[in-house]
């Protein structure tokens, strides 16, 4: 397993990079609930019937990607929760291809639901959620990792893309 342990850290940060309500699961759940609510008020169907079958497939693939990513964190002995302190940089499994495979899984999950439910509002709220993740959450996490893992995170960041 290729996991970089924390070193060169004189004063480790307490807690994780994502305290409070701006945590990814809450952001994506909010997008789902808002999209479903808006669709009840103002339905916007956006796909032909013959494409809807892709929704369940994408949704199942998203769940599988999430579970694989989660497993890598567990195997590395570090927390997945952004409110808890990370003890290692995970570089195995899906983390070899993306620094944020759990976020990719969340995005695919909401997109799959939008196709499955034929709900354009889910795509609209997904765009908002991804904006918050990309502009607020990820930069905060990256600062945390740079401050706590310096060289290890810099080399990982240079080799692995943020999304795909």
Q: Look up the domain containing 122 and give its range.
A: 50-164
Task: Specify the DSSP class assigned to residue 10.
Answer: S
Res. 64 pLDDT band, cuts 50 70 90: very high
**Tokens 């990607």 identify what position?**
65
In a domain, 33, yes or no: no
Q: What is the CATH number of the domain that holds 87?
A: 1.20.120.1630
pLDDT tops 90 at residue 61: yes
pTM exceeds 0.85, yes or no: yes
- pLDDT-derived band at 14, boundaries 50, 70, 90: low
What distance in Å separates the CA atoms of residue 125 and residue 113, rounded to the nearest whole number? 12
Does residue 113 form part of some domain? yes
pLDDT of residue 160: 98
C-alpha distances in Å from residue 72, one per residue of 28, 82, 129: 21, 15, 25
Q: Is residue 162 domain-resident?
A: yes
> Has residue 126 been placed in a domain?
yes
* Chain segment 113-147, per-residue pLDDT in tens: 999 999 999 999 999 999 999 999 999 999 999 99
């Amino acid at each position: 397993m290729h996991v970089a342990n924390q070193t060169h850290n004189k004063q480790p940060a307490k807690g994780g990079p994502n305290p409070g309500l701006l945590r990814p699961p809450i952001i994506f759940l909010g997008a789902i609930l808002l999209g479903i609510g808006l669709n009840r008020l103002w339905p916007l169907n956006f796909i032909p019937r013959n494409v809807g079958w892709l929704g369940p497939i994408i949704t199942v693939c998203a769940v599988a990607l999430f579970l694989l990513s989660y497993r890598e964190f567990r195997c590395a002995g570090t927390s997945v929760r952004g409110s808890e302190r990370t003890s290692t940089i995970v570089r195995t499994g899906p983390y070899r291809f993306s620094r944020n495979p759990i976020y990719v899984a969340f995005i695919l999950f909401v997109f799959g639901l939008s196709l499955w439910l034929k709900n354009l509002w889910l795509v609209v709220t997904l765009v908002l959620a991804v904006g918050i993740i990309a502009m607020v959450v990820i930069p905060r996490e990256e600062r945390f990792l740079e401050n706590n893992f310096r060289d290890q995170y810099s080399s990982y960041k240079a080799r692995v893309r943020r999304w795909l």
